Chains A and B, each alone.
Chain A
Amino acid sequence: MNGQVLAPLPVLIPTIAAAATLFAGRRPRLQRTIAVLALAAVVAVCGALLYFADRDGTIAVQVGGWGQSVSGMGPLGITLVVDRLSAMMLLVSAIVLLAVVFYAIGQGIRDGDEHQPVSIFLPTYLVLSAGVCTAFLAGDLFNLFVGFEVLLAASFVLLTIGASTERVRAGIAYVMVSMVSSLIFLIGIALIYAATGTLNMAELSVRLDGVPAGTRTALFAVLIVAFGIKAAVFPLSAWLPDSYPTAPAPVTAVFAGLLTKVGVYAIIRAHSLLFPGGAMDRIMLVAALLTMLVGIFGAIAQSDIKRLLSFTLVSHIGYMVFGISLSSALGMAGAIYYVAHHIVVQTTLFLVVGLIERQAGASTLQRLGGLAAASPLLALVFFVPALNLGGIPPFSGFIGKVALLEAGSQDGSVLAWMLVGGSVVTSLLTLYVMARVWTKAFWRPRADAPEGNLSAASPSALLNDTEDIAYADRDDVGRMPVGMLIPTGALIAVGLTLTVLAGPIFAYTERAADEVLDRGRYISAVLGEVR
């Protein structure tokens, strides 16, 4: 048993399970069992992969044995690569995917989903999981493209599930922006293929060294634009707060946690493996600063919590780009730790908003109030991840930010210091935004809310197109279903684990960063020999 056997499984298991759940469409109970078992298996496999990648070094699999078929051509077939970075991304994503599927199932069971088109929800969700895992495992650019397309196609369906007016409007914008970014990625692939004659990332990183510097930078720029749209980096981020908030809570949660981070992961790979030397670092640092500030200023203006969180999501992408574009080991380690932290905490917060919607029949601050008195448990469940996102000391958000600030001050350039300042301001404003939600939604009496007397008629579910009724006339909707509360609590626990085990985990991200910055190990693992 070694890592090579396991490497294809995070893609294979969800794909097969997606087919199986599709066949079991008329038997919801069987469908749920298959989905949960498959995602639990993926968590186990990813845990084992992380162990093997940390112990034995980078694992490379040439699918179908199409490895070194022609000497000097590089691998011709699909290559899957697991190094410490991708193993960590895989494990965190798998845990989040499992927790969210429990949440979605818990919500579906409570709502009695026989009237809703949810028989496609679980298969699509599993396809999304397969796409995310493909992107993290991909060892060649075209396979990365295919991974992106798989997860995007699944996300289109999930975002427009139920196809209400609002979701169709948001879905159209999302589909168009995503497809444009895919086209730009495809242009990048074509140009890189023209310049080097290969798409295998390890072979590319060898051959791109021989490409003239100007051409290299141009190729890099094309990829950064494509990945920047997916990761929602500032000038390319306007699509995100527009499209995410309309989707059902579990869908928004998993999108917010994973999809943008796939873009960040691709930026890490392009920046360190394909185009080392930091040709775009200054531009990326400026973009990171603007992402942080514009995102958080946007969040301040919002009154709908889902939109507010979408803006903080954009804002915190800036931290990761900041760490990456410092091109230092500590910066990269901080960025990797921050990605893991942010996947967990952002997903948790969106799940909590789902709970708030059930409890209070609204997710906008205009209608919310008195939640701390109505449900102290809900208050606790919101409070911990909110402080975590704001970067209050014991939590993982603080640890990640400290690492990034330290890396920025180590760099010492004027631009890096500006980013350090920007990070601190953004962190404070995040705290302000979270405190505003806290005081309005949790502390003030509901009667003080301007529209506090209104409420959605039925709980937000997968198919969500309800009208407003008076808050007092609202039926009891199962305000804190256990099936939704437990996964949320589990993710909070995972977030706290990032604090409790911060020493070992940060040491791991430092090893991962070393490995990412030292391309030789990746190249020799894939190509077999050191060239």
Chain B
Amino acid sequence: MTYLVPLVLIGGLISAGVYLLLDRNLTRMLLGLLLAGNGVNLLILMVGGPSGNPPIRGRTSDGETITADPLAQGMILTAIVISMGIAAFVLALTYRSYRLSRAEEVANDAEDARVSKLSASALDEDQPEPDHHRDTDEPDELDALPGHEGSR
């Protein structure tokens, strides 16, 4: 029973995370990643043994004598640090995507769409097709100031 509650919690966290990850909105995807990551971290903590054990060898804590597993906690720490770094990177990407296209949704791959359209009409790539110009409302420089985008 003591195992069941955290396991249900972990399952809930991961399924919520997966649900959010399936979205196209970047912020939701990031939240999904964080939720699922925390679920996995809890799973590792669970795996490290029951709670209440002393962290120092040869001591007792509340009658418990088995030393707490430091390895599980070390692994969680590493995983937390990694997911923090990746979260920062995803946030930077989100901001960049917003600056470039005024949207934080993941767009379709243009070349992919073109190829699937070709296969639908059974054309070879020798056939020319209408040229789709990209939206040019984007900053000229990497460090363009807000409000100056595409002004040149």
Q: Interface of A with B (CB < 8 Å)?
A: 76, 117, 142, 146, 149, 153, 156-157, 160, 162-166, 168-173, 175-176, 179-180, 182-183, 186-187, 189-191, 193-194, 199, 242, 245, 301-304, 307, 364-366, 450-451, 463
Tell whether A176 pairs with B21 under 8 Å between CB atoms, given A153-B89, A190-B44.
Answer: yes
Tell whether A168 pairs with B33 under 8 Å between CB atoms, given A186-B40, A190-B40, A450-B127.
Answer: no
A451 & B128 in contact (Cβ 8 Å cutoff): yes
Residue of A nearest to B33 (CB): A179
Residues in chain B near residue A176, CB distance under 8 A: 21, 29, 33
Q: CB within 8 A of A165: which of B47, B71, B138?
A: B138
B75 & A302 in contact (Cβ 8 Å cutoff): no
User: Is B59 interfacial (CB-CB < 8 Å)?
Assistant: no
Tell whether A183 pairs with B37 under 8 Å between CB atoms, given A162-B142, A171-B93, A450-B128.
Answer: yes
- Chain B 7-49 residues near chain A, CB threshold 8 A: 21, 26, 29, 33, 36-37, 40, 43-44, 46-48
List 11 A-B pairs, Cβ < 8 Å. Answer: A163-B142, A169-B107, A183-B37, A191-B47, A193-B47, A194-B47, A242-B109, A303-B115, A303-B118, A364-B125, A366-B125
Residues in chain B near residue A149, CB distance under 8 A: 82
A to B contact number (C-beta, < 8 Å): 107
Residues in chain B near residue A168, CB distance under 8 A: 93, 96-97, 100
Residues in chain A near residue B112, CB distance under 8 A: 242
- Chain B 78-118 residues near chain A, CB threshold 8 A: 78-79, 82-83, 85-86, 89-90, 93, 96-97, 100-101, 106-107, 109-112, 115, 118
Instruction: State which size class the interface on B falls in.
Output: 35 or more
Q: CB within 8 A of B79: which of A76, A172, A186?
A: A186
Residues in chain B near residue A153, CB distance under 8 A: 82, 85-86, 89
Cα–Cα, bound, A171→B78 (Å): 24
B93 & A146 in contact (Cβ 8 Å cutoff): no
- Chain B 129-145 residues near chain A, CB threshold 8 A: 131, 134, 138, 142
Cα–Cα, bound, A193→B79 (Å): 15
Residues in chain A near residue B109, CB distance under 8 A: 169-170, 242
A190 & B128 in contact (Cβ 8 Å cutoff): no
Residue of A nearest to B119 (CB): A301
Top 10 A-B pairs ranked by shortest CB distance?
Answer: A303-B125, A450-B128, A194-B47, A190-B44, A190-B43, A165-B100, A186-B40, A168-B97, A149-B82, A163-B96
User: Is B72 interfacial (CB-CB < 8 Å)?
Assistant: yes
User: Is B126 interfacial (CB-CB < 8 Å)?
Assistant: yes
A165 & B101 in contact (Cβ 8 Å cutoff): yes
- Most chain B C-beta atoms within 10 Å of own C-beta, residue among A76, A190, A191, A245: A190
Tell whether A180 pairs with B21 under 8 Å between CB atoms, given A169-B107, A190-B40.
Answer: yes
